[in-house]
Structures are given as structure tokens and as C-alpha cells.
Amino acid sequence: MTLGGMELLLLGTVLLWMATVVWSLYRFWTTASQVPEARVRRALQAEEEVEVPPRSRPLGRFSSLDEEWEKQERQASQPLLPTVSRFLEGRKWMTALAVQLQRARLKVEPTTLLVTVIFGSVILFTLTAILLSIYDPVSGIFSRVLFAGAVAASVPLGFFFYLRIAQRQFLRSIDLVLPDTLALMANILRSGIGFQQALEIASQEGLSPLREELGQVFREMSVGATMEEALEKLLQRVPSQELGLVVTAVLVQREVGGSLAKIFETASNTIRARLRLNDEMKALTAPGRFSAAFLTALPIFVVAAVNFVTYQMGGDAWSTPMLRHPLGLWAIALSLLLLGGGAYWISLVLKVEG
């Protein structure tokens, strides 16, 4: 018995899948059998803390900086596949992916994420192709491959939407605590303390997650970076529109002079008013957004319900003829495209500009 094109494709995908699983298990075993450097470092630090008396430990700003750097180093994840990581290191699109992950505050290494997404897409493609071969053997190979590829594409698309949502949530949390942090720094500056010391106090007494970012700015300035460089890197990590206005005001103040405390106080009141206005606009557009979500989900729910009822009653789903004919598959793809386009258009209409 000869194998067809679809069977060869499925066989090659399964073999690739099995090889990936074996290689991942091998890398996990070799990594687990080695003693991590971070574990040795933590053991040595614990031993030093036991031997050194509390009064002889280093105090002050630099000890807290060392503790913060060690904390970030422990939180950093190691690549799952070091060989692939070294091969992809330095590429522009990998650097862009790392920047996007940093903006979303996801503690995952870019290469590990890329391999996971590819692995998930291959698994979903394989399962979809096998199910189509079992339940719809009469359809053409092109239609089955196209449908399986569309289903597999949901993995990177799903991660992309999750990444965007995580970034928006992080920026929202930054904007919420920004007015209070600016008011705190304004009060500190009025007491006669300089800007760099105000950053240090705000990084310790401020609200999370903005205080961690201000602490990063303070550490960069402590090791020799200029204020402009540190603030520009802050905007690269946190591309918030409200924070961008504050940074621009600080840079202008350094050029033309003026009271920085007054600038922070004015910016705090302005940002608080803008956030209140955005909340009011979102409340006014809530019925429209609910209607958009309902109208988008209603056709999908109706098709799923009709298929379930017809399958239970007659043994054959309602949309089976469409899945078995290439024209029906194109009709389904066009329907999904129009449905997604309509949902995107409604979201643009209801979008609240800052």
C-alpha cells in the first residue's frame, strides 16, 4: 500500500514532533544534572551572612543596589535551548521580541518563547490534520493543509494578543500610580533635595511598578549615565504617553530652567484629570463595546449550536457539506475575515484617544 501526500506530510510532522520532544527531554536532563551557578552563589551568600557579624556588613546605598541587581539576576530566566539561543542572538527581530517581552514584563527568554510557540503550532497542525484525515477523508489535500495551517496560526496570534494585553495592563498600572509618584517627588524637591536623590527616595517609597523603573533610572545615573540617557531608556522600557510628557517636561526644564517641583505638581494634576476623563469616556462607550463583543460572538455561537443539535439528532453536522467542498471552505474563510474586519472596525470607532 502506497502512502499519499497527506500521509507523508503527517508522518514527517510526527517524526519532527517526536525528535523535538526527545531533544527537549535530553536538554532538561543535562541542565538538571549540572549545578547552576546561581545556586552556588546563593549558598556562598548564605554562608557569608552566617559568618559575618551584622555590624560588619556593608551598609548604605551600594549594598541595596547589589541586592537589587542580585534579585533581578535570580528572576532572569535561562534559555531552554542554549544552542538555538546563541544562533539567534544578535538578530534584529529577536532584539525586537526581547523589547516587547520587557515592555509586557514577561519573565521569559525570547528563544524559549519562540521554540514554545513553534512547538505548539506544530502540535496543533498535526492534531488538526489527523482529525481531518479521520473525519473528512474525501476532501482534497490542499483544503486540509490550508485548514490545518489556519488552525495552527491561532497559537502565534493568541500569544500576540496576550502580549498586547499584558503591555496595556502594565502601562495602565504605570499611569495610575504616576500622579501620586510625581506629587511625592514634588514634595521631596521642595525640601531642598536634588533630583537624583529624589529618584532614590521615590524608588524606595513610591508605588509599584513605577518605583522599580525609577530605581533602574537611579542606578544608571549612579554608574555614570547622564539624565537624558537614563530617561530615554526609561521611555524605551515604558512607552507610556503620560510618562513621555513628564520626561519631556524634565528635559525642557534642564534647558530653560524653572522650578522642577512646580512642574511635577502641574503634571500630576494634569495626568490625574486625563485619567479621570479617559475613565468617563470608557464608561460612556461601554454599551457599544459590549454590543460589539456580543455581535462578534453571536454568529460563532449559533453555528456551533446548530452543528451540535444536528449532529445529535441526525448523526451529521450541519456544516459538514461546507467542510467537504473547497467552495465551502472558502466561504467559511471569507465569513471569518468579514467578521474579524467588522469587529476591528467597531473597535476603532469606539477607541478612546488619550
What's the pTM? 0.67
Rounded Cα–Cα distance for residues 132 and 145 (Å): 9
Provide the b/e sequence for 95-104 (b: ≥16 CB within 10 Å).
eebeebbebb
Rounded Cα–Cα distance for residues 143 and 148 (Å): 9
Q: pLDDT at position 25, please?
A: 64
Rounded Cα–Cα distance for residues 347 and 325 (Å): 33
Per-residue HEC secondary structure of 80-136 comes to CCHHHHHHHCCCHHHHHHHHHHHHHCCCCCHHHHHHHHHHHHHHHHHHHHHHHHHHC
Lowest mean per-residue pLDDT among 50-54, 156-160, 165-169, 197-201: 50-54
251, 265 in Cβ contact below 8 A? no
Q: In the structure grid, which three cell numbers stand for residue 174, read together?
A: 504605570
Angle between helices 110-135 and 5-33 (to 10 degrees): 150
Q: In the structure grid, which three cell numbers stand for residue 210, read together?
A: 513605577
CATH no. for 172-282? 1.20.81
Q: 63 vs 68, 193, 221, 234, 262, CA distance in Å?
A: 9, 22, 16, 23, 33
- 237-255 pLDDT, tens digit each: 888 888 888 888 888 888 8
Q: pLDDT at position 335, please?
A: 86
Q: Where in the chain is the domain with CATH 1.20.81?
A: 172-282
More confident residue, 259 or 350: 259
What distance, in Å, lies between the first and last C-alpha atoms of the chain?
65
Average of per-residue pLDDT values in the chain: 77
* Ramachandran angles phi, psi of 351, nearest 5°: -70, 135
Long-range residue pairs from 338-341, CB within 8 A, at least 24 positions apart, any chain: 339/296, 339/299, 339/300
